[in-house]
Structure formats: C-alpha cells, structure tokens
Chain A
Amino acid sequence: QSVLTQPPSASGTPGQRVTISCSGSSSNIGSNYVYWYQQLPGTAPKLLIYRNNQRPSGVPDRFSGSKSGTSASLAISGLRSEDEADYYCAAWDDSLSGQVFGGGTKLTVL
C-alpha cells in the first residue's frame, strides 16, 4: 500500500489529453513539492516534472503538472505512442522523514 495513491491504469488515443491523479495527505503533498517520473519499459525512471509544475530541459511542453491541497495531477496533451509508460508521483513526507512514491499508473496509448 503506497503512501501516495494513483490509479493503476489510464488510457487514451493518439492526440488526446489524459490526466493522472496523485492523492496524498497534509504531511506529504500538502506541505511539500510534488515530482513526476516516467518509466519506459525496461529502463530507469526519468524526471518529468519537478516542484509541482516545472519541466526539466528536454521534456516536451505536452507534459504539465499541477497541485492543489493534498492532491496533484499530471496532464499529457497530444498523446503519442511513445508516451506509453508507467508514471509515478513522489513527494517528501514530513511524518516519515522520507521520500514516498505513488504506486504508479500504467498509461496505455490505444
């Protein structure tokens, strides 16, 4: 059972916009930044969004992040086949004094 809650799966067709939610609590998302990671099959995770809504250089602006209260979401617009991957949210948890991850959402591009 992960501290941060994500839907196990999401799907969309090419060109569509999809969102992935991440729910936490006051000790993690409510009081700290949220990060998003993309993990393509068989590879290490890659930083996608940092500090709630910032994109590292090289990440397309099709990817965007937002946070409100104790929840966050990742939006992917103009969905492409290469976006098919697992997506994880993460945040620091003050109560645990540790990094916590969501359980991951498997995105399928139909």
Chain B
Amino acid sequence: QVQLQESGPGLVKPSQTLSLTCTVSGGSISSGSYYWSWIRQPAGKGLEWIGRIYTSGSTNYNPSLKSRVTISVDTSKNQFSLKLSSVTAADTAVYYCAHRSILTGYDYWGQGTLVTVSS
C-alpha cells in the first residue's frame, strides 16, 4: 500500500517560489509504470492538475502553469518535489501529491497541505 505525505512551508510571500516535497512510502518511486503528480484545490473550488513526472523522468505540466512549474524526483530519498515560482494570492490552495497508475488513475493521494500566499 503506497502512502504519500506532503511537506513544506504553509506560508509563502508573493513573488517567491513555493516548494513542496512528497515523501513516498510502501513502494519505490523509481520502479513500475507510475506517474507522480501534483494537484491543487483553492478553498471552496475544484481540482486543478499542476503536472506529473513519470518513473522515466519525463514530465507534463498544465499549460497555464508551465512557465512557472518544475516537478522533480529524488530517488535516493524516495521523494518528488514541486516548485512553483513567482507566486501570487491566486496560488493559495491545498496542494495534493498523488500516485497515478497507468491502469487505474489517481489511486493514492496525500492528505494535502495548505499553502497560503501572503505578505
């Protein structure tokens, strides 16, 4: 059973870079045919896909965020990370990391972490 846990600052200043890490347990991040993804949800709103990284290292990003997003993997720590630059208040949201199986979709999710962008 894969488990995911997000970590990182809960408060980021405008124009700075938001950095979050997702620690994976119960499985190796570098094995299998999986996508490791970030999804966010502003308060009271719907889900927004941010992007994903495949076990091969290839990435896909939401076109509306692509210029500001980087997702990377640290296999030595069994973690993957999100960096979102030049943040504004519109980036305030609960950020989820999620595991996507090619066969079954987003089958494992972290509990989510609230990131507030404010000075």
CB-CB nearest 8 A-B residue pairs: A99-B49, A44-B109, A35-B105, A50-B105, A104-B46, A101-B47, A50-B104, A103-B46
Whether B46 pairs with A56 at a CB distance below 8 angstroms is no
Q: Taking A50-B104, A88-B47, A104-B46 as contacts, is the C-beta distance between A97 and B110 under 8 angstroms?
A: no
A45: B residues at CB distance < 8 A: 47, 96, 106, 109
Contact of A104 among B47, B105, B111 (CB under 8 A): B47
Looking across the interface, which residue of chain A has its beta carbon closest to that of B100? A99
Closest Cβ of chain B: how far from A3's Cβ, in Å?
Answer: 10
Q: Could you say which of B47, B106, B109, B112 has the most chain A C-beta atoms within 10 Å of its C-beta?
A: B47
Q: How distant is the Cα of A101 from the Cα of B98 in the complex, in angstroms? A: 15
B49: A residues at CB distance < 8 A: 98-101
B63: Cβ under 8 A from any A Cβ: yes
Looking across the interface, which residue of chain A has its beta carbon closest to that of B110? A44
A96: B residues at CB distance < 8 A: 62-63
| A-B pairs with beta carbons under 8 Å apart, 21 shown | A2-B46, A35-B106, A37-B47, A37-B106, A44-B109, A44-B111, A45-B47, A45-B109, A47-B107, A50-B105, A51-B103, A56-B107, A96-B62, A98-B51, A98-B61, A98-B63, A99-B49, A99-B52, A101-B47, A101-B49, A103-B46
Closest Cβ of chain A: how far from B41's Cβ, in Å?
Answer: 9
A46: Cβ under 8 A from any B Cβ: yes
Which size bracket describes the interface of B in this complex?
20 to 34
Tally of contacts, chain A with chain B, CB under 8 A: 58
Closest Cβ of chain B: how far from A101's Cβ, in Å?
Answer: 4
| Chain A residues in the interface with B (C-beta under 8 A) | 2, 33, 35, 37, 43-47, 50-51, 54, 56, 88, 90, 96-104
Q: How distant is the Cα of A70 from the Cα of B2 in the complex, in angstroms? A: 33
Q: How distant is the Cα of A2 from the Cα of B41 in the complex, in angstroms? A: 13
Whether A98 pairs with B106 at a CB distance below 8 angstroms is no
Q: Taking A44-B96, A44-B112, A46-B109 as contacts, is the C-beta distance between A102 and B103 under 8 angstroms?
A: no
Whether A101 pairs with B63 at a CB distance below 8 angstroms is no
Looking across the interface, which residue of chain A has its beta carbon closest to that of B66? A98
